[in-house]
Chains A and B, each alone.
Chain A
Amino acid sequence: MFDPGQVIVGLEIGTHKICVAVGEAGPKGELTILGIGQCTSRGVRKGEITDTQKAAEDIRTALAEAEQQANVEIQEVYLGITGNHITCEDSKGVHPIASYDRTITAEDMADAVGNAKQFNCAAGNEVIDSVRQDYCVDDMTGVENPIGLVGSVLTASVHVIRGRTARIETARRVVQSMQVSVAKPVFNGLASALAVLTPEQKRQGVLLIDLGAGATEYAFFYGGMLRHSGVLPVGGDHVSNDLACGLRISIDQAEQLKREIGSAVYDAAAVRGQYYEVPGETGLEPRQISLENFQRIMSMRLEETLELISRDLARAETFGLAQAGVVLCGGGARTRDIEKLVYRIFSMDVVKAHTHAVSGPADVLANPEFATAIGLVRYGAMRLQTRARSRFGIRATLQSLFGR
């Protein structure tokens, strides 16, 4: 079905780091990660490129490292997209069944889905991903496969992820300037979900949260389907910036302290009246900062971020039914006690992500920061698989990847 040894590359232009994952899809579709390339990101803020020159340099470094590690030449990448410009919403596409006998065909399904994608799409925006949820035939709702049913109107319910064309184009051009082409832009939240969620979790109902530096992406699955997703362009950088402002320390110091002594929950009793000494900046005396303030500032930001996400998720009707809990990935998942805070807000079990059904160096797979890049590789692998299948005449769209 599949050319053996197909190399697939995922590129995440993150706010904190650029990450390139090189994978190889085996003859049965199994994935092996051959190498990872990384570079600290300097030209990205809140998930979007703000300085193309710096971003290009950093991407080049990361690509080079990945090529060397995996011993391949990278020609094409799946490109992760995130940022404030992304909108994720459910859309309904209506398609009248015109055929003589009113029997629904695969073409009707595709047309209904196509209408859903186009519905309400503002000028200057484009569809990045669209994931089919279910169908409605006349007034019968919740139909999973309407082919062969008889009806007069078919309505497709589709979760559509759109982005500003110009922003996507900026990222694409930067990549292309390195003689690397973009196979497809993919929403980061979806990619991370592909890497770390199991089909069983998706069936039971699971929420994935990717806590990045510049943006926090989330995706909720239930009954094996994507039900809701979104981006909040707030992340670890905001935590550090709040700490820097409130404690009057530099951003770098704040970032370092956050990793060393930070915690997602504010434990008033444990830190009351305690101070922590930070080295003074060039030539200045060391300073004492109040741990109480430190924890309050940090927990308040994280709590607000998660709270905003929880409010948005309340829109998904099935959210209350989720049984598989919350899975955390991204660098922010390393925050101490983050599970406690997430549990407090969502009242669901919380686990830190581990990349599943992929082989490769153990330290790479356990790394929560790599979820997006690895997920992009998996996305590519699944797309190729679907393509291969459709060569055999089965009409299958990419949406089916996320179904069942």
Chain B
Amino acid sequence: MNPDASSPFADGAPSNSPTEAQTQGPAAGFLVIGVGHSGGAIAERIAASGMSGAEVVAVDTDLTSLRLLGGVKSVAFGAKSARGGGCGNDLAMGATAAYEDEGVWKQRFAGVRLVCVITGVGGGVGGGAGPVIARLAREAGALVLGIAVLPFDYEGSLRRSNAATGLDALRSGADAVICVPNQGVAAMLDDKTPLIEMFTAANDLVAQSVVSIWRLLHRPALNPVSFADLERLLRGRHAASVFAAVEVRGATRAREALERLQKHPFLQAGHMLVEADAALVAVAGGNDLRFDEVQGIQNQFQRLCEHAQLMTGAAVDPELEGRLVVTVIATRGGTVSLPATAPTAAASASTGASATAAAAATVSAEPVSDRLAFEEGGEPESIATGTGTRIGPMFVPPAPNFNEGQKRELAQRQIKNSMRRKKAIQTLFKFDVVSVSRFAQTEPVKRNGENLDEPTYARRGIALN
């Protein structure tokens, strides 16, 4: 909490030398931060897809979770509050953990132009710390794009209500928030898909979209899209912003790209396009990108987004030779159709209605500050405050060298564990009285996927003693 405390990075990260930071180059005005387990997993995918120039980092209080990641810089924080563990559904704890290192975050964000905070808002770290990190980045002068991963339906109402709270907080912390519903991915895949693959698929979809936005902003374009455009599109409307990107090869790639976008889970089967009141459609390809492809796609979107004010972009990137990438960001006025359950008293400071975004700096491509330069794929770096009592390990042992199989097993075990916990709570009330008896003959009252005729305490997973 004390910004004057000797910088933990000074002693905690020998790799973080200024010279190395300078080598990051001028393109690196973009920092991607994955918060919590879900954010970290997505950051890992983004790093793997090679966003050269931009910086990608995974942050978490949970050291075990960070160690599972490979190929992405990872940083641990909140050692005092979380003691190296997760925040287990406790948003307040996540927020405290993030504030614990407030000074450090601010230092790191200084001079960064665009920060993309990716976070699973249903998690303790994701929903608690993510919004705080977004807010700190914005306070440091960056334009902050929040990407909120929303829980699967099966995760239950506690997660959902946490996600609603976390999302509200993120909306007030970031300049713009885009929602990524995990359940949308589930709808796209077969029910029998292993859980782990479901997560991977979701992560890849998000990664693809983030990379494509970054490409949009940083690659020289024929018909460029600027930060200002992005800002205009998203600012204040993040309540119902969605994004999607597809990459297609082959002769019929333009048509295929359109088809895939219309079925894209993040666009709600094309509904979002029809209902959008503003949309950005950007087409990127290699030197072989043809005029009729760009024109065809843009025309099609003019028709699909019938009510929308449409912004278009086109870029040629030699790296994309043979491929066609279409990125869509669509926004709609009104409120987000999200879990409307009670925020817990422990929720972080934000209130439900405070979804307003504050002003943000317009971004231009200037050299990035040297403060936030992360080494690729190192061990988790601790950012616990320098002096005073330090609970939890300061130096984290290097990540054990897991092979793919081991990693998978470990991840699966984690998921199983969390499911077991959930089950244990739920078995406490198997009531034999029919729970909706009084309303048996009536149309159920559904709100946000919950049947409100069922007792609240049962849906909340409260055990009666």
List A residues at the B interface (Cβ < 8 Å): 45-46, 48, 50, 84, 232-234, 237-238, 240-242, 244-246, 248, 251, 290, 292-293, 296-297, 300-301, 303-304, 307-308, 310-312, 314-315, 319-320
Contacts and interface: CB of A to CB of B under 8 A. Distances in A.
A54 to B, nearest CB: 12
B439 A296 contact: no
Contacts of B465: 290, 292-293
A45 B438 CA distance: 8
B237 to A, nearest CB: 14
Contacts of B341: 304, 307-308
The main secondary structure of chain B at its interface with chain A is: loop
A343 B334 CA distance: 26
B439 A241 contact: yes
Interface stretch (B245-253, B368-376, B449-457): B449-457
Nearest to A249: B433
Contact of A237 (B433, B434, B438, B464): B438
A314 B400 CA distance: 49
Contacts of A234: 445, 452
Contacts of A292: 465
B394 interface: no
B149 to A, nearest CB: 21
B231 to A, nearest CB: 22
A380 to B, nearest CB: 30
Contacts of A311: 340, 352
B342 A303 contact: yes
A269 to B, nearest CB: 16
Nearest to B459: A304
Given A242-B455, A242-B457, A300 B442 contact: no
B292 interface: no
Given A46-B445, A84-B445, A242 B456 contact: yes
Ranked 3 nearest A-B pairs via Cβ: A242-B455, A307-B342, A314-B353
B342 A245 contact: no
Contacts of A319: 353
Interface in B319-343: 334-335, 340-343
A84 B443 contact: yes
Given A300-B456, A319-B353, A245 B334 contact: no
A251 B343 CA distance: 29
Nearest to A250: B433
Given A242-B457, A290-B464, 16 more contacts: A45-B441, A241-B455, A242-B455, A245-B431, A290-B465, A293-B465, A297-B455, A297-B457, A300-B462, A307-B340, A307-B342, A311-B352, A314-B335, A314-B352, A315-B334, A315-B335
B426 to A, nearest CB: 14
A239 to B, nearest CB: 9
Given A50-B441, A304-B342, A246 B464 contact: yes
Contacts of A320: 353
Interface string B420-441: 0000000001011111111101
Interface string B337-357: 000111100000000110000
A233 B340 CA distance: 15
Contacts of A300: 456-457, 460, 462
A301 B460 CA distance: 10
Range for the number of chain B residues in contact with chain A: 20 to 34
B336 to A, nearest CB: 10
Interface centre among A84, A303, A307, A311 (most CB of B within 10 A): A311
Contacts of B340: 307-308, 311-312
Contacts of B447: 308
Contact of A296 (B441, B445, B462): B462
Interface centre among A238, A245, A296, A314 (most CB of B within 10 A): A245
28 contacts: A45-B439, A45-B441, A50-B441, A84-B443, A233-B452, A234-B452, A238-B452, A238-B453, A241-B436, A241-B438, A244-B437, A245-B434, A246-B455, A251-B438, A293-B464, A296-B462, A297-B456, A297-B464, A300-B456, A300-B460, A304-B452, A308-B340, A308-B447, A310-B352, A314-B353, A315-B335, A319-B353, A320-B353
A90 to B, nearest CB: 10
B21 interface: no
B342 A301 contact: no
A319 B353 CA distance: 10
Contacts of A48: 442
A237 B462 CA distance: 20
B335 A245 contact: no
B440 to A, nearest CB: 9
B458 interface: yes
Nearest to B440: A45
Interface string B176-193: 000000000000000000
A240 B455 CA distance: 10
B442 A45 contact: yes
Interface string B292-330: 000000000000000000000000000000000000000
Nearest to B335: A315
A303 B343 CA distance: 10
A245 B447 CA distance: 21
Contacts of A310: 352
A305 to B, nearest CB: 8
Nearest to B164: A311
B11 to A, nearest CB: 45
Nearest to B435: A245
A203 to B, nearest CB: 22
Interface centre among B441, B453, B455 (most CB of A within 10 A): B455
Contacts of A315: 334-335
